[in-house]
Chain A
Amino acid sequence: MAVDLNRALQGRVWKFGDSIETDAINPYYRYPTMEELKQHTMEAYRPEFPKEVRPGDILVAGRNFGCGSSRPGLVLREVGIVAIIAESVARLFLRNSIARAVPIFMAPGITSIVEDGETLEIDYPQARVRNCASGAEVELRKFPPLIEEIFAAGGLPEYAYERYSREVAAR
């Protein structure tokens, strides 16, 4: 599914700590189907998360989000998370999110401007994240054009399909 990074987003915040790991985000060893995963994602940190998360919520985290094994965070999108914003993101989780077009942003300082349950606004074109209540804001890192194209294509496999189709058509 194509992702328009430029669409402005507003949502309620779920705030997590540092080094949130992929066994907790995507515990597929224990819960092999998406339906099961949706009921257990992030429960290692906050048991109420899978029950209380609502479509449109935003996940905020500290540094090194998504460390550990290489596993996509599709389940977070499935439970309704519209964006992940972290101080920093572990490289394989970032690669996974780009390749599967799961909106993810890096905004150093984000954890100091927002608390759990508050509302956050993400403005990608202006490279800003703002706490709607307090007005505090931090800068969000923009992606290079190649990565924006991958998001727009709906992910890297879709981007590959477009490139392959062009090659075949040119033969």
Chain B
Amino acid sequence: MPRTIAEKLFSRHNLAGSDVAAGDILEARIDGAMVHYHANEPMHDLALQAGFKDGLPRVWDRDRVFVLLDHHQPTLSQKQADENALIRREVERLGIRCFHDSEPGIAHQMMADYGLMRPGELVVGNDSHTISYGALNCGGIGITRADMLYVLLFGELWFQVPQSVRVVLNGRQRNYPLAKDIILYLAGKYGDDFAGNMSIEYAGSLVPQLSIDSRMCLAAHGVEVGAKLALFPFDDTTRQFVQARTDAPFEPIAADPEARYEKEIVLDVDAMPFVIAKPHQFGNVGPVDEVAGRPIQQAIIGSCANGRFEDVEIAARVLKGRKVARGVRFIISPASQQVYLQCVKAGLIETLLESGAQIATPGCGVCQPKVGFLSDGEACITATTRNFKGRKGSMKADIYLAGPLTVAAAALAGKIVDPREVFDGR
């Protein structure tokens, strides 16, 4: 029977050895487990609650557990420092070999930077944006902290094989990143759960033209439209990216031509307007023109959705030789130290500092109420993951989500504008 990527992924990892199809429940073998700043919960707190008197008694494979202390680097409170210290002790006790400690950044980006997840694998993480690994044809799935305890002990976990939705992106890559506009547009048109519990498979003429950075943005945002997996086909771009980072072997997965999809969505990106998500939901999307003129006090580029080289690069291109508008705090946070270094070497950081932007330490803080709070009545335009009420502090602030070009244009203008007013989008 012809199968989707998700069906092949779970068949390959099914402990029972049999082929599975959409709807089947199985126990799957796990290739890798990414544990981030909440590692103390599965390793310690939840283990004690479950009855393990001395914390987690073991990890199933010391080479397949990756602990990355991402959200809390550098620490912002005594509590975080104490939690990190506990995690260091637990990592030592359990003999976990892959531990990124004193390195700020977003765990998902570091998993890519260091080749820790690969095409065809089933890799889980206790963070919703683990789904971003699908950019590399890797079965990245976000799980919960309690699920992670089970994985750490046994290297197995239950899943239901998802149905699949095929998203066909046709068109031409422009001279700026398109990924954020694409996913916002889809969420606006088809709803913020159009892929609820499903596996997204991307296809179409645009896909081979998309950078890994753009694919990671689209894959990360799979969770914002409800998906369990968001998978890209494996191609030469993937191969070059992965082989530059790891010598480990891997076996990509392609869908069968006659595979069965629950639905298919086709988008012509050439006809797509610049879009923006208005407060307070990801799917509350309209053309940028709808809210043009709205003054903003803060602009952000960063996160696992938009903290990559091409996101910082477009901001630098827009701002080169120009100044951030008076009264606007423009905060840029590269996704990882490696991305930061790449930006420094390319001269982007110098350009941005000269324009008046602020560079924040790599990490998740700019996407949470941790770095860059908003006050009552303020508005922020941001290329990060979410715009829920209170996501940046005040419950009386407005958060608009947009692509990095639209955010940079707003930072320059001091208000939301159609980016073509300040940038020659071709």
Chain A: residues with CB nearer than 8 A to chain B? 19, 21, 23-24, 27, 29-30, 32, 44, 63-64, 67-70, 72, 88, 90-92, 95-96, 99-100, 144, 146-147, 155-161, 163-165
Contacts and interface: CB of A to CB of B under 8 A. Distances in A.
Contacts of A63: 193, 196
B16 interface: no
Contact of A90 (B49, B154, B193, B370): B193
A19 B193 contact: yes
A32 B46 CA distance: 17
B291 interface: no
Contacts of B149: 156-157, 160
A164 B128 contact: no
A157 B283 contact: no
Nearest to B367: A69
A156 B196 contact: no
B192 A67 contact: yes
Contacts of B128: 68-70, 92
Given A21-B388, A91-B226, A161 B50 contact: yes
Residue of A30, A63, A88, A157 most packed against chain B (CB within 10 A): A157
A19 B283 contact: yes
Interface of B: 25, 27, 46-47, 49-52, 57, 79, 126-128, 142-147, 149-150, 153-154, 158, 192-193, 196-197, 223-224, 226, 228, 281, 283, 368-370, 386, 388-391, 395
A161 B196 CA distance: 31
A75 B395 CA distance: 20
Contacts of A70: 126-128, 142-145
B51 A100 contact: no
Nearest to B388: A23
Contacts of B47: 157
Contacts of B228: 91
Nearest to A65: B193
A68 B27 CA distance: 25
B142 A64 contact: no
A39 B203 CA distance: 46
A95 B144 contact: yes
23 contacts: A19-B192, A19-B281, A23-B389, A29-B368, A30-B369, A64-B192, A68-B386, A69-B128, A70-B127, A70-B143, A70-B144, A72-B145, A91-B196, A92-B142, A92-B223, A99-B144, A147-B158, A155-B146, A156-B146, A156-B150, A160-B154, A164-B52, A164-B57
